[in-house]
Structure 1
Amino acid sequence: MNQGDKWTYFLGCYPLYSHDADDNRMFRIITSQLIDAGLCRQIEILNTFGVSKSSVARSLRKYRADGIEAFFQPRKTRKGGRVLTEDVLTKAQTLLDQGFTSGNVADELHVKRDTLRKAINDGRLSTKALPPEYTTKSCRTTIDAEAAKNMGTACTRPEERIVAAFGVCDGAPVRFEPCIDIPKGGVLCALPVLLMNGLLNGAERFFGTLSGYYRTFHIIILVAFMALCRIKTVEQLRGHAPGEFGKLLGLDRIPEVRCLRSKLRELGSDADIIKQWSAYLSKYWMDQDPQAAGTLYVDGHVRVYHGGLTKLPRKFVSRQRLCLRGTNDFWVNDATGRPFFVVDKTVNPGMLAVLEQDIVPRLLKDVPNQAYDKDLIADPFLSRFVMVFDREGYSPQFFKKMWKEHRISCITYHKFPDDAWPEEWFKEQKVTMPSGEVVTMQLAEMGSFIGHKKSGLWVREVRKLTNSRHQTSLVSTAYDMEYQKLASCMFSRWCQENFFGYMMHHFAIDLLAEYGTEQLPAGEEVVNPAWRQLVRERSSLQNKHRYRKVKFAELTLSEPDANDENAYNVWFSLKSSLLEELEHYEHELEGVKERIKSTPKHIAWEELSEEDQFQRLSPGRKQLMDTIRMIAYRAETAMAGLMKGPTIDTPAARRILQDLFITEADILPDTNAKILTVRVHKASRPAVNRALSLLFKRLNNSEVIYPGTDMQIFYELGGEGHPQNAGKGVTQTSPK
């Protein structure tokens, strides 16, 4: 019977023995006596007290061999050794005092780990106990719950909140506390790469300073962490402890959902400012990698809208093979799928119009290292940069205009290829894809004239012979590029499709960011509903006319024998009736076609009737979230590139990173050394731990300062020490 601090043993109703609950020696003596006397079995001791079988058996053997005196004999230990000499023990104790684990110390001193562990067990070495100021998860849970009685859950810095509420300070200071087992602490490993991809570049300049406790960079970093942790909506934050998440930002807690919505609404109130910030980042990314910006991929994506605030125009969604209401996003990416910017269109004018009016002018201004005019004159085949898109952008007139006016090369699939080429023209070629993979293709090339005689032009046509003997044709005005490179550019276009699929599944680019609508810009042209109705009528009449024309042809071919008067009369009557219907539908078709010609296809949005008018979804917060998600995707892609190796490809690296971002970690600040140590818990496999160790080593070389502090971030896996004299680093976000 357990009486709190004492165990009592009964035989029937009679007490036999008792001992203190923490007296392990008496426990082993009494249980050994009970088993030896046959009053109980070993299995009953195991089930009752939860001790190991080997421990019970060892105590029983000791009792049967030497009696009760055996439990009071001093433990025999080695007083010295040839491996752990006094000098080695001194070095080992010094390392243990610095916070290194026993495994690291054993490896450093070249002794067996079991040998060092025995020295710790028998008292020759002592491990450094966890300082009392380090808080555990259960301790923080209690503290956060107690704070709810006053200012609110996890509001453990009330003085700072009051000062910020009165506007005395510019938001909360970043102050890290020693914490153990922070949920999703592994996402801090992405911070250096997020900053290198411009997460905070220009944020204060474009958005200014938020009023209140939370500052601008707090909110932006929080949204980036949410994206990497696959927290897809603000509402989903309710399922995460606010105090624990706040420790990742150096705060007492993250903003409550309604507060965060308010902050995002404030940041996203001016869509023009967000566009300027997005354009600033796009230019920054292109300048960072001019080679990647030399070949740009453009593709459209339909963001489906299922709400009822407005009746958006219907668009054909190829992935669902349905016409659904939504908006069009035109993305510009590099050859590996990394995004540069996105152009959203409530009314879809078509890819060619978006390219000519929105994308090309921006690229001419932003793409770095473009050829000078004198170089373009000297080399008639030189281009400024290359654009790659699918068949939606196929237009010989557009290709000709881009080349003549801007010297921009275009690559796309041939929409109307001629007859198949002889297979002997195709040669096996090794093609290096943008990802570095080398593939073998059967390729052939020749010049082709596309378009009309006056508006067409000569292009390079490259065909790929597939295993099914199908010939995939592409055309290009990149006259100075090797045809193997042309094939590489065109056939890696699926990187954008993969990007869309990954972003929809992991970063929720299709989710609605806010509820609200606003009027379309003045002068926005939309499809005329009257014209659309006439087109529907024409299609209906054409189908009816086509059906009766087929029936008329069948009757003509099945004329009965003239001698069978009844059958002939029925046949003649049916044929006459069909002929009348054909003439009627032809007459109606002519009238509908004339009305279509006289009806404008597009009209201004203001000219729509009240029942046909629609509004666009509020773009501000959506553009803000998409920009931060682009940064998060680029950061994850960069980290995956750092992890790639002989045994880890990009998909495997992304899976490892997804697990890393939600792994628990310890936050250990050292204000004297100005080091913020993030100790991530180890993964389940040694191979993954080795990959993470290499990743952390590369991240530590960047010497990144946590925004709002002067502390350099240092990453390590659990069980690995870090140097106390790490050098200082400075970033653009550092106070220095």
Structure 2
Amino acid sequence: MPEPRTKERVLARFGLLESATPVFTQGAGLARLGSLLILPTLAQTGLFSSAKKTYHSLSDGFYSLSATILTMVFLAVFREPLAEGATRIPPSDLGRLLGLDRAHEVKTIRRKLSEIAGPNKGSEFVNALSEYHAEQDPDVMGYLYLDGHVRVYSGKRDLQKAHVTRTRIAAPATVETWATDQRGDPVFVVTSELSASLVSEIRRLLPSLKALAKGHTMTVVFDRGGWSPNLFAEMVRNKIDFVTYVKNKRTKEPDDAFFEESFSEDGVSYLYELADRSICLNLTKEVDGQKTLSCRQITRRREGGRQTQIVTSRTDASASEIAHRMFARWRQENYFRYAREHFALDALDSYSFVGDDPFRMVPNPAKKRAQAELRKARLALSQAEAAIGIALEESKRTSLVKFKTQNAKLTAITEKARSEVDRLGQEVHDIPTRVPLSSIRPEEVLMDEERKLVTHAIRMSTYKAESALARMIAPICPMDEARALLREAFNCAGDLQIVDGALEIRIDPLSAPRRTSVLVSLCEQLTSSKTCYPETNLVMRFSVKDRPGIS
């Protein structure tokens, strides 16, 4: 067992210790030692360098900034991503992985996360990670997927509601806009206004996207929620290409316009039946003196003759590449689903709230109520007019004067309904469409997003590190099975030894020889990277006990 570092904890208690340095205790059969497999690829995400660049360091104490971030990473690796998850892992086991005698308690994790979130630099932290991602992997930044994500809140506070697509209801929630690269790995996340459309969010993010491209070609892919020809024109003006589905129905392409074309990615070939032609989109207002925008429409035909139309500003890419990138948008949805299940994407990391902007313009509920009354009045008017029509049809031989006398009551009802429609129509016209929030819901609050942005940054880096490990063994193990194999490996016990200034990590075999042979290959690749444990000069060397031959 590690020796208690009592002296350092006493110094930290009185503010005389900047932070405790990692000191590893050698041992055999140590629980969860396989989680150290995540560190080489985690270093490649820039998580630690971005955290230091943004926050520099925490206040003097036993646990440093790196130790706190590593604790959150290991909790995510063990599928206990919330701070409360530390209660389900022995502090000594988690402390060994940190090079300490024991890990943080839950209250300490919360206090450290509050300190990190205190300067309100969560967006800066996420931006630093995205810039690092763009610099290290420019090849995967050619296509960027943008989409909104609704994070439902089920507490008792008064939050504005948003439509939740997967449940098809409106619920109190926070809306975020996520960007992922062409592999589906997250790049950045921003908090959006609940009433903001995807069009307005993309327009707001244009300067950030342009800075992230750094002069390279960037194509933004999104769904029909971002359809706006004027937005497309603004994107082209900012030298950012776009790919999206056609929102409005268009004429189907004739059979002789289609051709077969394949696209290859990661050694897999995809065959599409496509039609390709140029179109012009009308702009609601002039952009750079132009009233139309020339685009390219690519139509995919599936079995049964169903056609899916895509519009893009890219003229240099093949039709099959554009179609493949558009349909690969589901990789982002796959990330949302996986992160909800394994990384607490929608969980509350903080129970603190902040007051909403009282001057924020929101839809006026009074106008909605007046419009409902107007619809009822119009229905009553149409029913009264229909009744008069029926009565007139039944008394064709009756003079008009006699008809009016016999149906005076029905005529009065119709006139009253018509005047009510006129009155309500004027009332709807006079009521403002949007009003300040303070005038209708002064008590409304927002969830404090700073801590959530910090935990988002840590968990998305963990996900990217896990994805990188899965890609390393993808040639010998399917991607879905690779993630399951990694989850097993992370929880494996092992031996820890320091030899010649290196950290020797020997992991127990997995549940099957075939899976163990895959782990052997992964350990060899990670060892060849010569990655040092964070905040130390110890190079990590990975191996598997009782190494079998690779079949």
Instruction: Give the match for residue 515 of structure 2.
Output: 688
Instruction: Give the match for residue 341 of structure 1.
Output: 188
* Preserved contact between residue 387 and residue 408 of structure 1 (Cα < 8 Å): yes
Shift of residue 554 of structure 1?
8.2
* Preserved contact between residue 530 and residue 539 of structure 2 (Cα < 8 Å): yes
Q: Does 1:367 align with 2:213?
A: yes
Instruction: Give the match for residue 117 of structure 1.
Output: none
Return the structure number with greater relative CO, CA threshold 8 A, min gap 6. 2
Distance 1:561 1:353, change over 3 A: closer
Shift of residue 313 of structure 1?
1.6
Distance 1:683 1:461, change over 3 A: same
1:120-161 deviation per Cα after TM superposition (whole angstroms, max 9, x unaligned): xxxxxxxxxxxxxxxxxxxx5xxxxxxxxxxxxx98221222
C-alpha distance in 2 between matches for 1:323 and 1:623? 24
Instruction: Give the match for residue 245 of structure 1.
Output: 94
Instruction: Give the match for residue 592 of structure 1.
Output: 427
* Preserved contact between residue 347 and residue 526 of structure 1 (Cα < 8 Å): no
Instruction: Give the match for residue 426 of structure 1.
Output: 258
Distance 1:610 1:426, change over 3 A: closer
- The secondary structure found in structure 1 opposite 2:248 is coil
Q: Does 1:255 align with 2:112?
A: no
C-alpha distance in 1 between matches for 2:433 and 2:390? 43
Q: Does 1:293 align with 2:141?
A: yes
Shift of residue 175 of structure 1?
1.1
Instruction: Give the match for residue 493 of structure 1.
Output: 329
- TM (normalized to structure 2)? 0.90
Distance 1:192 1:430, change over 3 A: same
Distance 1:551 1:224, change over 3 A: farther
Segments of structure 1 that go 5 or more residues without pairing to the other structure are 1-139, 141-153, 371-383, 722-736
Q: Does 1:667 align with 2:496?
A: yes
C-alpha distance in 2 between matches for 1:476 and 1:305? 36
* Preserved contact between residue 552 and residue 578 of structure 1 (Cα < 8 Å): no
C-alpha distance in 2 between matches for 1:440 and 1:546? 53
* Preserved contact between residue 444 and residue 464 of structure 1 (Cα < 8 Å): yes
Q: Does 1:329 align with 2:176?
A: yes
How many residue pairs align between the two structures?
Answer: 538
- The secondary structure found in structure 2 opposite 1:189 is helix
Instruction: Give the match for residue 534 of structure 1.
Output: 367
Distance 1:576 1:283, change over 3 A: same
C-alpha distance in 1 between matches for 2:187 and 2:309? 28
Letter in 2 for 1:491: F
Distance 1:155 1:301, change over 3 A: farther
Letter in 2 for 1:361: P
Of 155-164 and 468-477, the range deviating more from structure 2: 155-164
Shift of residue 228 of structure 1?
1.6
- The secondary structure found in structure 1 opposite 2:48 is coil
Instruction: Give the match for residue 483 of structure 2.
Output: 654
Shift of residue 703 of structure 1?
0.7
- TM (normalized to structure 1)? 0.68
C-alpha distance in 2 between matches for 1:215 and 1:538? 58
- The secondary structure found in structure 2 opposite 1:451 is strand
Letter in 2 for 1:627: A
Segments of structure 2 that go 5 or more residues without pairing to the other structure are none
C-alpha distance in 2 between matches for 1:491 and 1:602? 40
Letter in 2 for 1:365: A
Give 2:274's match in structure 1, choosing from 418, 434, 443. Answer: 443
Q: Does 1:195 align with 2:43?
A: yes
Q: Does 1:697 align with 2:499?
A: no
C-alpha distance in 2 between matches for 1:511 and 1:406? 36
Letter in 1 for 2:320: Q
The within-5 A match list for 1:86-165 is: 156-165=4-13
- The secondary structure found in structure 2 opposite 1:174 is coil
Q: Does 1:171 align with 2:19?
A: yes
Distance 1:364 1:243, change over 3 A: same
* Preserved contact between residue 178 and residue 189 of structure 2 (Cα < 8 Å): yes
Give 1:710's match in structure 2, choosing from 518, 537, 548. Answer: 537
Shift of residue 365 of structure 1?
1.5
Distance 1:266 1:591, change over 3 A: same
Give 1:480's match in structure 2, choosing from 316, 328, 344. Answer: 316
Letter in 1 for 2:498: P
Letter in 2 for 1:324: A
C-alpha distance in 2 between matches for 1:337 and 1:574? 68
Structure with bigger gyration radius: 1
- The secondary structure found in structure 2 opposite 1:456 is strand
The within-5 A match list for 1:576-655 is: 576=411, 579-580=414-415, 582-596=417-431, 599=432, 601-603=434-436, 605=437, 608-609=438-439, 611-645=441-475, 648-655=477-484
Could you say which structure has the higher strand fraction?
Answer: 2
* Preserved contact between residue 313 and residue 347 of structure 1 (Cα < 8 Å): yes
Give 2:242's match in structure 1, choosing from 393, 410, 420. Answer: 410
Give 1:266's match in structure 2, choosing from 85, 108, 115. Answer: 115
Letter in 2 for 1:221: L
* Preserved contact between residue 555 and residue 575 of structure 1 (Cα < 8 Å): yes
Identity of aligned residues (%): 27
